[in-house]
Amino acid sequence: MERLLLVRYGDLMLKGQNKKRFIKQAVNNAKAMVSDDRVRFEPAHDRLYVYPEGADIERVANLLARVSGLGSYSYVVRTSRQLEDIINAAKTLLRSHIHGAMTFAVSTKRADKLFPIRSIDITKKVATALLKTYDELTVDLGDPDITLYIEVRRHGVYLYHEKIPMMGGFPVGIGGKGVLLLSGGIDSPVAGFLTMKQGVELEAMHFESTPLTTIESAQKAIDLTKTLATYNLGMRMTLHLVPFYALHRALMDHVPEPYHITIMRRLMVRVADRYAETQHIPVLISGESIGQVASQTLESLHVTDNACTRPVIRPLATTDKNAIVDIARDINTFSISTRPFDDCCSVYTPSRPATKPRVYYAERYERLFAVDALVNEALTTIRRVTLTPTSELNLVAQGLTVGEALD
């Protein structure tokens, strides 16, 4: 018997004529994630067989669980097409999973219709042999404690007993590219993760106001990007660090306090929108959730979107905060996001922010300072770093501002 992984594709199985292209991207992403020449990948039209060939099968499975476009996997044993070998493999597979009295069922799929024994007959013979071998087992076809799955295919028979969920969605890179507006908080990394899960490759953009904000807040953005890079195309992500100090000072000097957050968000999407235009990137991604804070009321979102030409995708728009936190914990961003260092969106939050701002007032306040000139200056002084999950970049040890640390 040979032990391997059977991987099922996720939503991409619904893609019709484009399915081959989606599967190819998913398999390429899986190979890049595992990055082990010993591991052999054997794609089929509805399955991906992964042969560890000496590699740690649990490690391979854990890595594949981070690949979007893959729906579930099973630890599988492969045996010959001889009925005796199938029965012996079934006994061996279930032996370590029987704990006291249990119910079971056998489900057989004969993918190779040339195999001489019908599916129902394979099921009966295997179930009978298991009942004779293990007194603890009884048959329950409705709601069994354990189900043994048997797949008869051209090159062998595959047996497994559980299906373990994976990311699902679509393979990252298949859906184009977006710019993630990455704060140091909990929400935006989760929004980025969910967007990549749907096949969109991301670049991240963080607005830093050092020395108005601490260098540690920019370090949070770097560490969040490193974590998100795990799921991005090629396991790398570019982070654009936008110097927001001058824009920040200008709006604080000229804009009434209730509109600080509103104008700040408009300035941020303006910068991101103009950068995306130069790179032919069609969308921006934001972590906003409707009504969560004052700057995320429907009126506030409308005023923000009015400042850019691209659609702003908000994957968390209707998501409960507890659900967002659960995802953040799952993808290992929560502990980074909750470090006690505020970014420019939170450090100067007004005491009474406008919850129903108007475009007319926002545009009126923006005429009080040189918005276009400051936005252009920010665009020309962006600092870019490309990060992987193992990148070592510590701004805190290099200076008090991002400019000092990177220059």
Co-location of 134 and 198 in the same domain = no
Co-location of 34 and 131 in the same domain = yes
Co-location of 203 and 302 in the same domain = yes
Instruction: Give residue 13's pLDDT band: very low, low, confident or very high (50, 70, 90).
Output: low
The number of domains in the chain is 2
Q: What is the CA radius of gyration of the chain?
A: 27
Q: Specify the pLDDT at position 355.
A: 87
Q: Is the pLDDT of residue 346 over 70?
A: no
Last residue of a domain, one of 144, 165, 186: 165
106 - beta bridge partners? 148
Of 207, 137, 190, which Cα lies nearest the Cα of 320?
Answer: 190
Encoded tokens for 65: 């669980």
Instruction: Give residue 44's pLDDT band: very low, low, confident or very high (50, 70, 90).
Output: confident
Co-location of 211 and 132 in the same domain = no
In tens, the pLDDT along 269-283 reads: 999 999 999 999 999
Q: Is the pLDDT of residue 402 over 90?
A: no
Instruction: Give residue 16's pLDDT band: very low, low, confident or very high (50, 70, 90).
Output: low
198 - beta bridge partners? 170
Instruction: Give residue 96's pLDDT band: very low, low, confident or very high (50, 70, 90).
Output: confident
Domain residues for the domain of 81 are 2-165
What single-letter DSSP state applies at residue 170?
B
The top-scoring range by mean pLDDT among 39-48, 110-119, 281-290 is: 281-290
Q: What H or E segment, with its residue span, contains residue 225?
A: helix 215-229
Between the alpha carbon of residue 54 and those of residues 79, 126, 155, the distances in Å are 18, 30, 21
Q: Is the pLDDT of residue 365 over 60?
A: yes
What pTM value is reported for the model?
A: 0.89
Q: Specify the pLDDT at position 344.
A: 63
Encoded tokens for 365: 């306040």
Instruction: Give residue 93's pLDDT band: very low, low, confident or very high (50, 70, 90).
Output: very high
Mean pLDDT of the chain: 91
Instruction: Give residue 340's pLDDT band: very low, low, confident or very high (50, 70, 90).
Output: confident
Of 357, 363, 213, 207, which Cα lies nearest the Cα of 296?
Answer: 357
Last residue of a domain, one of 165, 188, 222: 165
Co-location of 108 and 159 in the same domain = yes
| CATH (domain of 54) | 3.30.2130.30
